[in-house]
Amino acid sequence: MKNEKLTLLIVSEKTERAQKFQFYYRNLIILVLLVFVITIGGIFGIYTSYKMSINLSIIKKDHDKMLLERNKVMNMTRDLNRINQMDTYVRNSIGVPNYTSNDSILNNTSDQTIPFSYIENIPSFLPVSGFVSQSFIAKSDNKLNDHSGLDIVASFKTPFHSAADGIVVYSGWKHPYGNTIIIYHGDDYFSLYGHNFENVVYEKEKVDRGQLIGLIGDSGEASGPHLHFEIWKNGEPINPSLFIAEYRLENLSFGYDEKR
């Protein structure tokens, strides 16, 4: 069997001549096995290369995703730090006690998302329709005449709304504004709503632009039902009518109507 030969004849139709090839049986088996091994090796190499390219693609996507999430975390940390700093500044400015370390706005925020955008967080949504009875007055010669917001007169228990997307950093009672809401909108913007009959949002609650947050009232030191509305930027009060044109058109102020 080892020395047995196989003969292959090739016959031409034109010349009718035949060519004969002889192979040892064992050599043919070796050749077939060699071709088989080479084929299997080639298939395995192609499969390995394909799998490696897929793995590299997955690793690249995971890397890009990790960088994106890292940037989001850094931006979130920056906004949370701003919340903490500006919350402390605003509270000190209006005399509201600061949170203790166990009651910080930054605690228990692992499940809290703050998706601020630089359009939706601009406080330009009309909180309530009405006429302005007291204008914005800041840095006057007489500090007693300063008025860091607008007073908008509306009917008792009229709903009012958030001027922009944000998160509630204060919802409670504070002299002289009575029931008061303070919302952080991101990018160092805050808004304040005072003299409310009722606050319908709570601290650490995320609110949307135009969302109902309270009812008009006369709590605190007020001569009648109205909304005291303030906007703060970088720790300074700014005129809300710069953001809300309706309050420029409806400004009928002639004096200060709050009893201070």
Per-residue HEC secondary structure of the chain comes to CCCCEEEEEEECCCCCCEEEEEEEHHHHHHHHHHHHHHHHHHHHHHHHHHHHHHHHHHHHHHHHHHHHHHHHHHHHHHHHHHHHHHHHHHHHHHCCCCCCHHHCCCCCCCCCCCCCCCCCCCCCCCCCCCEEEECCECCCCCHHHCECCEEEECCCCCEEECCCCEEEEEEEEECCCEEEEEEEEECCEEEEEEEEEEECCCCCCEECCCCEEEEEECCCCCCCCEEEEEEEECCEEECHHHCCCHHHHCECCCCCCCCC
In this predicted structure, what is the pLDDT of residue 89? 60
Rounded to an integer, the average pLDDT of 16-36 is 76
Is the pLDDT assigned to residue 260 strictly greater than 50? no
Q: How confident is the model at residue 258 (pLDDT cuts 50, 70, 90)?
A: very low
Q: How confident is the model at residue 103 (pLDDT cuts 50, 70, 90)?
A: very low
- When pLDDT is cut at 50, 70 and 90, the band that residue 69 belongs to is confident
Q: What is the pLDDT of residues 232-255, one digit of tens each?
A: 988 888 999 888 888 877 665 544
Q: Does residue 36 have a pLDDT over 90?
A: no
Q: What are the residue boundaries of the structural domains of the chain, listed by start?
A: 5-60, 101-249
- pLDDT of res. 203: 92
Residue 97: pLDDT above 70? Answer: no
Distance of CA 108 to the CA centre of its chain: 17
Q: Which of 7-16, 146-155, 249-258 has the highest mean pLDDT?
A: 146-155
Tell me which fold the domain 101-249 belongs to.
Answer: Glucose Permease (Domain IIA) (2.70.70)
Q: Are strands 150-153 and 131-134 parallel, antiparallel or unpaired?
A: antiparallel
pLDDT surpassing 60 at residue 2: no
> Quick check: 102 pLDDT over 50?
no
145 pLDDT tier (thresholds 50, 70, 90): low
Residue 84 clears pLDDT 70, i.e. is over it: no
Mean pLDDT value across residues 13-27: 71
Kindly report, residue by residue over 116-138, the tens digit of the pLDDT.
444 678 898 999 999 898 888 87
Note the pLDDT tens digit of each residue in 190-235.
Answer: 999 999 999 999 999 999 999 999 999 999 988 899 999 999 988 8
Q: Are 18 and 9 in contact (CB under 8 A)?
A: yes
Mean confidence (pLDDT) of the chain? 78
